[in-house]
Amino acid sequence: MPPTHRISGRPRRTPLRAALATAIVLTAAFAATAPAGTASAAGPDRDPGPERRQTQRVEYFTGPGAHPRHTEVPAAEPLSAKERATIKGDGDGDVVPIVQTGPPGSKLDVVFIGDGYTASQQEDFHADVRANWAKVAAVQPYASYKSLFNVWAVNAVSRQSGVSGDPTSGTVKDTALGSAFYCDGIERLLCVDTNKVESYAKKAADPDLVIVLANSTKYGGAGYNDITSPSGYDGIATASSDHARSDQVLVHETGHSLGKLADEYWYDEYGTYTGAEPWESNSSKLTADRLTAQKKKWYRWIGQTSPDGGTVGAYEGGGYYPRGLYRPTTDSIMRTLGRQFNLPGREAMIAGFHRHASVVTPVTSTERVVRRDAKVAVEAPDGIRLRWSVDGREAGRARGDTVVSPRALGVPADGRTHTLSVRATDVTDAVRDPKLKPLLSDTLTWRVTR
């Protein structure tokens, strides 16, 4: 049975479960594929045997429009003390800002690490980061929430250009992160040494999501979503740097890591699901009528036209089972690459963004006392409601203002210390579940003196 995950609310830094990393690997090819619904020989439920139990479970796509399949790959070996301490020079390990919208910790910090780029190719890596992030950021709901993201590039200097397995299985390259196609004999499966990735990712101040770009035009990718990361990020994705469809691999992967969404495809041989109600928000044992009657999961969206096409309902098949589990729409990106997130999926993604990123960012530091006649400023994207208060009482005249004067808001000149606060709320209608609403609000507070 596919492994379960646990979703959590604040604090935003979500600890990642599992002593042995579970990976969901997403790859796609333009080559012909086996029929959808047939599992590989190393299927999700197959006991890999004692010689292969130290493994990571992976998921991969075999072609555009194809649904994923599964296998097991060996887990990364722990790094030696020498490997952990090695810095190769030539800018190895340097952190370069690509997109900065606020201080680390208040934003969702995406960290790209390049593999197969030599010292002289680091600028090429930075250009590849910009190009790939631009594609991801054009997909909804990313497009509406660009201001929540910081993007960083961490230079990993490889001794050779390119990665193993490109163009053939016999190609071997000496790279910083050990990226390789033909992982476990599967051509489009682009695996990486996750321990080496961690050694570079932790150089960034506050990584939330880590993406490895392999210096290659060959299509492939991976997403590790249940790794145990000391740095606390929400997973690792890998993708080719220079393929037109790499961004789709990354978007699907973040559906798992940020949205905590289930896969919406199935294997025919899995039969009928008889387990407990899945924890994921986009998978249920309940039909549309029962979802509505019991007010469960995505019932608030039923009957609405969804951006991935069709109407939200309850369509049988999902979570790897053809029967007994239902998905919200017929064919979202959690089933097929190149599609959109459905309405329940977008809701989950926005909530995932806000688990890491604050709704409002202080321009005036909250760490210091401000004077009564000073200006206090914040930054907030469009669609954020701002309400200011003095000592707990709302100052209605300042609603929506991003710059205020404590004096003008009524802070008295009595020599005492007073409290100025702003409550910021994302009022989007794309989130309907009241259990998620607390993630969409934040409060900043300043101490004010005469």
What pLDDT, on a 0 to 100 scale, did the predictor assign at position 301? 98
Residues 6+ apart with CB under 8 A from 13: 208, 232, 356
Q: How far is 58 from 139, CA to CA, in rounded Å?
A: 25
pLDDT grade, residue 46 (50/70/90)?
very low
Q: Is the pLDDT of residue 38 over 60?
A: no
* Residue 295, beta-bridge partner list: none
Q: Give the model confidence (pLDDT) of 285-311 as tens digits.
A: 999 999 999 999 999 999 999 999 999
User: Top-level CATH class of 361-449?
Assistant: mainly beta
The burial class, CB within 10 Å (0-12 / 13-18 / 19+), for 26 is: buried
pLDDT grade, residue 369 (50/70/90)?
very high
What pLDDT, on a 0 to 100 scale, did the predictor assign at position 58? 60
Q: Count CB-CB contacts under 10 A for residue 234.
A: 26
Question: What letter represents residue 304's amino acid?
Answer: Q
Q: Hey, what are 32's tokens?
A: 């012909």
Q: Look up the pTM and report it.
A: 0.82
Q: Give the model confidence (pLDDT) of 375-392 as tens digits.
A: 999 999 888 999 999 999
Pick from 178, 174, 210, 172: nearest CA to 192: 178
| Angular region, 47: left φ>0, alpha ψ -120 to 50, beta rest | beta
Is 361-449 in the same CATH topology as 50-257? Answer: no
Q: Is the pLDDT of residue 2 over 50?
A: no
pLDDT grade, residue 186 (50/70/90)?
confident
C-beta separation of 424 from 438 below 8 A: no
What pLDDT, on a 0 to 100 scale, did the predictor assign at position 45? 36
pLDDT grade, residue 34 (50/70/90)?
very low
Q: Give the model confidence (pLDDT) of 410-425 as tens digits.
A: 999 998 999 999 999 9
Name the CATH topology of 50-257. Answer: Collagenase (Catalytic Domain) (3.40.390)
Q: Is the pLDDT of residue 230 over 50?
A: yes
Q: Is the pLDDT of residue 358 over 90?
A: yes
pLDDT grade, residue 88 (50/70/90)?
low
Pinpoint the alpha helices (H) of 230-285.
246-257
Triad 185, 16, 85: Cα angle to 5°? 70
**What separation, in Å, do the N-terminal and C-terminal C-alpha atoms of the chain show?**
63
What pLDDT, on a 0 to 100 scale, did the predictor assign at position 49? 42
pLDDT grade, residue 221 (50/70/90)?
confident
What pLDDT, on a 0 to 100 scale, did the predictor assign at position 59? 62
pLDDT grade, residue 347 (50/70/90)?
very high
Domain range list for the chain = 50-257, 268-356, 361-449
What pLDDT, on a 0 to 100 scale, did the predictor assign at position 23? 39
Average pLDDT, the chain: 84
Residues 6+ apart with CB under 8 A from 324: 272, 273, 274, 285, 316
User: φ and ψ at 382, to 5 degrees?
Assistant: -60, 145
Q: Hey, what are 166's tokens?
A: 């490109």
Q: Is the pLDDT of residue 6 over 50?
A: no
What pLDDT, on a 0 to 100 scale, did the predictor assign at position 89? 55
Q: Give the model confidence (pLDDT) of 191-218 as tens digits.
A: 999 999 999 999 999 999 999 999 999 9
C-beta separation of 177 from 93 below 8 A: no
What pLDDT, on a 0 to 100 scale, did the predictor assign at position 12? 34
Mean pLDDT across 144-148 = 95
Pick from 86, 94, 101, 90: nearest CA to 126: 94
